[in-house]
Structure 1
Amino acid sequence: MKKLMRTAAVAAAAALALSACGGGGAGSASNVNPTGDIKPRQISWLLSRPADGAVINIMKKIADEYAQTHPGFSLNLITTPDRPSYIQKYETLAAANKLPELFDTDATPFAQQLAKQGKMVDAEKLLKDLGVYDTYRPAALNYQRFDDGSLYMIPMQFELEFFWYNKALFQKAGLTVPTSLDDLPAACTALRKAGITPIALDGQDQWPLERYAAYQPFRQAGPDYVTSLKKNQAKFADAPGQKTVNWLSSLGQSKCFSDGFSSQGYSDAQNQFTSGQAAMYNIGTWELSSLATDKLNPAVGSDVDFFTLPTTSGSVTAANEYVSPSGIGMAVNAKTYDPLVADFLKFALTKYPAEYAATGALAPTTNVQTTIPANATPLYKKALDKATDLGTKQIMPWDTQLDPTSNTRLQQELTLLVQGNVSPSEFTSTMDSTIAQNAPKFFK
């Protein structure tokens, strides 16, 4: 099944490249203020978000409000929460020039091709034209930018990722909070000796392990390393790459992750930590309701705390710089962008931040205040307050950066590396040759 999906994605990319030769029928990406009458109709949004999540529920509500003064308008939500299936659908529709008015996308190489072909509205110009650009968190916008600094996606959320840990389990193993990433392997060894699983990990979805691959290079070389790596301008054989490869191998040798982590799912990892079976859990503020409210298992509730990504000796990035994603962004189809879409977006983006903050989540803008739930623990506010103390550099998740083929291979090889099925040198050779072969097709 995965092979079929990857084949479809590659075919879509090839078709997209061909469509560029003929212009693809795209409209003007820079015309953010189209003139003419607002003619209500149904518009669609191709989504990759939880069907019962806050983003979808709020946008449904806003669309209904808009329809009250614009009879005939409706927002059709085409939802595919499963990310691999969504990407296949999105890339296929893009190649066929059949994307709807709005669609979700990360700042991937594929999306950058769409932008370069004029198929996406310039989001920075759009937000400035709507008068809301300055209300957005710089980190939320920067997460959506391409390498050249251009902005074609609108952030609908904002998150911070931490290492959540169990203080009682740390104490049992004689540990304190790690001050360096290099301390983690020894910490895992101590936890194992105390009969404790060190880190709960969702290995099935693969992206959580890929986060770990991004940490050491970010501390040693900054965010530019992956930008060069994905274009085959840097190598895993280089110093930052070798640092992470050897570190990941040591995490595996120290049995940092759950036994059988490669077959463990998202809820499995969450339950392992919240039940007190694992000492650490690397996850974002989207799980605050599970980790910082009275929903948390009372047996571990008072023991849960978090720490931010540790630095290393000689780090070029600061302690307050780590993963701060604004999730998958919303793009606007330039071909179908007209006065109705422009007017609806102005209405929606003005109302959305306050509605989103009211759910207890960090909004992508700073002009609203998050409502802390009545059942929240003090940890909830402590986590939210970290948003006011962020540096200017942030880790871009590698699954949004590498070309699709290289990324798939990386995810596979990371599991093998941590499991001890391949050596650091074998991993390095495989990944450097894979990127060298595939990067030129996406980065020209």
Structure 2
Amino acid sequence: MRTKNRMLLLGVGLSTASLLLTACGAGSSDNGGGGGEAEAGEFSFLTNVENTTIPTELETLAGDQCKTAADAMPLKVDTVPQTNLDQQLQLLAGQGALPVQFAAGNAPALTKELAASGNVLDLEATLTDLDVLDQVEPAAIDTIKALYGGFNVLPYQYNVEGIWYNKQLFADNGIEVPQTWDDFTAAAETLNTSGVTPLSASGEQGWPLTRLISGYLFSNLGKDALQKVADGEAKLTDPEYVEAAAAVADLGQKGYFGEGVGSIDYDTAINQFLNGKAGMLYMGSWVLANFNDEAANQIGTENIGFMPFPKVEGGAGIDNQYAANVGLPMAISQKAYNEQTGEWLKCITENYGSSALENQGSISGFKVNEEVDVDPLTQTVQETISSTDESVLWFEALFGTQATTASQTNAAPLVTGSISPEQFMETVQSALK
């Protein structure tokens, strides 16, 4: 089965209004309403209009595995444009009219506020009571807790990030899969010497470069490295933080991103990897759609491997480190929760993972309980998720809009040498204030 997902990357962080959205699958049940007080007995669901995958799968479940729950509490889907989501959620919360299930806000802070005011269901306690907590991948729960301060959203989407590499180029150049940062830089030097761009990245977007900075930080200082910055316990200008920026800047100074990295956009970076001109690509699992496009992929899926971020030797980080995100997750209204809602929630938790993977090639944070025939790369990602207990976030995950913009727009100047690592970190730190 070929992956049908088409992920639309609109920015890079859940901490801003620009975040990873899905724009895939069949049409949703758009009633044009955008919420309002739910009618009695309805499993009302408010989501962003751009996301059609989740409503489609819930409709599929309503007619199959979750038919009993749907007969007792029919599914009703309303949509609102992504740009209006936060305002709509705040309005409905103020009216006491949040639907049973709703898309989380553009920034984790809004969901935290709704949870603090008693509007968001505690999923850890609820799924434990329903005896289905073990049907959610531990890595997904870990990611949600890191972003939202608790398990209070459902992981209908789950993306892991790491380094994709060209197996044939590695074999031709005698390169073993890097385990450490030193191995990684040595592999990059070998590829560079052979005339291949070691690491394809979009300097125009910026975030593929800052992902490397946070990867180094988490591996060296531990998974709470950026939480300490958010809490004011550390600064990006501290020497150990500047070290991470310097390590990535060094990759650029050595030419490992190739020429013109500052003008390379997202699609071009992926195409460089898929036409064999680059040996490695840092990217999330949403890129599987590109990899399974036979017209675009000139190296073949059989020649693509996936590895975690290389460990900084002596660092305090976790082994097999993958950054992860949950797309735009969904919350359940605490005030609307009842026994019938519980039946829906239990059925979704037990069946969504297999249904979405089989029908749309969509990877979620729910466990896959049935054998699903998928392409090898999708299977690799699913196995990676299943075998991972902990994950990390990304550089801008806990930043506000100004700091996110400062980070991404200055990433290319950092690796091209236009600004120093110290200047880069100072610029972003200043934007955090």
Match of 1:92 in 2: 87
2:405 to 394, 401, 408: 408
Match of 2:22 in 1: none
* Shift in CA distance, 301/70, structure 1 to aligned 2, threshold 3 Å: closer
CA displacement, residues 60-106 of structure 1 (integer Å, 9 cap, x when unaligned) = 322455689638934325265xxxxx3x4232223434665411357
Name whichever of 276-285 and 219-228 sits farther off.
Answer: 276-285
Structure 1 contact 292–380 (Cα < 8 Å) conserved? no
Structure 1 position 370, deviation (Å)? 5.0
* Shift in CA distance, 233/72, structure 1 to aligned 2, threshold 3 Å: closer
Structure 1 position 423, deviation (Å)? 1.3
Could you tell me how far apart the structure 2 residues matched to 1:219 and 1:42 are?
Answer: 43
Amino acid at match of 2:305: D
Match of 2:430 in 1: 433
Structure 1 contact 159–326 (Cα < 8 Å) conserved? yes
* 1:45 counterpart SS class: strand
Coordinate RMSD, CA, aligned: 3.6
* Shift in CA distance, 73/107, structure 1 to aligned 2, threshold 3 Å: same
TM-score (norm 1): 0.74
Could you tell me how far apart the structure 2 residues matched to 1:354 and 1:174 are?
Answer: 38
1:279 corresponds to 2:279: yes
Structure 2 contact 156–366 (Cα < 8 Å) conserved? no
Structure 1 position 138, deviation (Å)? 1.4
Structure 2 contact 160–324 (Cα < 8 Å) conserved? yes
Structure 1 position 337, deviation (Å)? 4.7
* Shift in CA distance, 60/419, structure 1 to aligned 2, threshold 3 Å: farther
Match of 1:57 in 2: 56
Bigger share in helix: 1
Matched pairs, number:
391
Structure 1 contact 103–330 (Cα < 8 Å) conserved? yes
Match of 1:166 in 2: 166
Could you tell me how far apart the structure 1 residues matched to 2:362 and 2:90 are?
Answer: 35
Could you tell me how far apart the structure 2 residues matched to 1:345 and 1:293 are?
Answer: 35
* 2:163 counterpart SS class: strand
Q: Which runs of 5+ in 1 are unaligned?
A: 3-7, 10-37, 81-85, 438-444
Name whichever of 337-346 and 121-130 sits farther off.
Answer: 337-346
Could you tell me how far apart the structure 1 residues matched to 2:162 and 2:409 are?
Answer: 24
TM alignment of 1:290-305, pairs within 5 A = 290-291=290-291, 297=297, 299-305=299-305
Structure 2 contact 309–322 (Cα < 8 Å) conserved? yes
CA displacement, residues 363-402 of structure 1 (integer Å, 9 cap, x when unaligned) = 52346145233xx34x554544334443x44211233322
Amino acid at match of 2:225: Y
Structure 2 contact 236–242 (Cα < 8 Å) conserved? yes
Amino acid at match of 1:89: N
TM alignment of 1:216-231, pairs within 5 A = 216-231=216-231
Could you tell me how far apart the structure 2 residues matched to 1:108 and 1:215 are?
Answer: 21
* Shift in CA distance, 138/120, structure 1 to aligned 2, threshold 3 Å: same
Could you tell me how far apart the structure 1 residues matched to 2:200 and 2:371 are?
Answer: 29
Amino acid at match of 1:209: L
Structure 1 contact 121–152 (Cα < 8 Å) conserved? yes
* Shift in CA distance, 79/270, structure 1 to aligned 2, threshold 3 Å: farther
Structure 1 position 127, deviation (Å)? 1.9
* Shift in CA distance, 240/93, structure 1 to aligned 2, threshold 3 Å: farther
CA displacement, residues 252-274 of structure 1 (integer Å, 9 cap, x when unaligned) = 21233354445544433332212
Structure 1 position 231, deviation (Å)? 2.3
Structure 1 position 166, deviation (Å)? 1.4
Structure 1 position 414, deviation (Å)? 2.3
* Shift in CA distance, 210/115, structure 1 to aligned 2, threshold 3 Å: farther
Could you tell me how far apart the structure 1 residues matched to 2:127 and 2:354 are?
Answer: 17
TM alignment of 1:341-420, pairs within 5 A = 341-359=341-359, 360=361, 362-366=363-367, 368-373=369-374, 376-377=375-376, 381-390=379-388, 392-420=389-417
Match of 1:321 in 2: 321
Structure 1 contact 185–250 (Cα < 8 Å) conserved? no
Amino acid at match of 1:46: T
Structure 2 contact 353–363 (Cα < 8 Å) conserved? no
Could you tell me how far apart the structure 1 residues matched to 2:371 and 2:363 are?
Answer: 6
Match of 2:76 in 1: 75
Amino acid at match of 1:420: G
* Shift in CA distance, 207/342, structure 1 to aligned 2, threshold 3 Å: farther
1:104 corresponds to 2:104: yes
Structure 1 contact 182–247 (Cα < 8 Å) conserved? no
Name whichever of 224-233 and 329-338 sits farther off.
Answer: 329-338
* Shift in CA distance, 230/133, structure 1 to aligned 2, threshold 3 Å: same
* 1:282 counterpart SS class: strand
Could you tell me how far apart the structure 2 residues matched to 1:204 and 1:344 are?
Answer: 43
* Shift in CA distance, 432/288, structure 1 to aligned 2, threshold 3 Å: closer
Structure 1 position 288, deviation (Å)? 4.1
Match of 2:118 in 1: 118
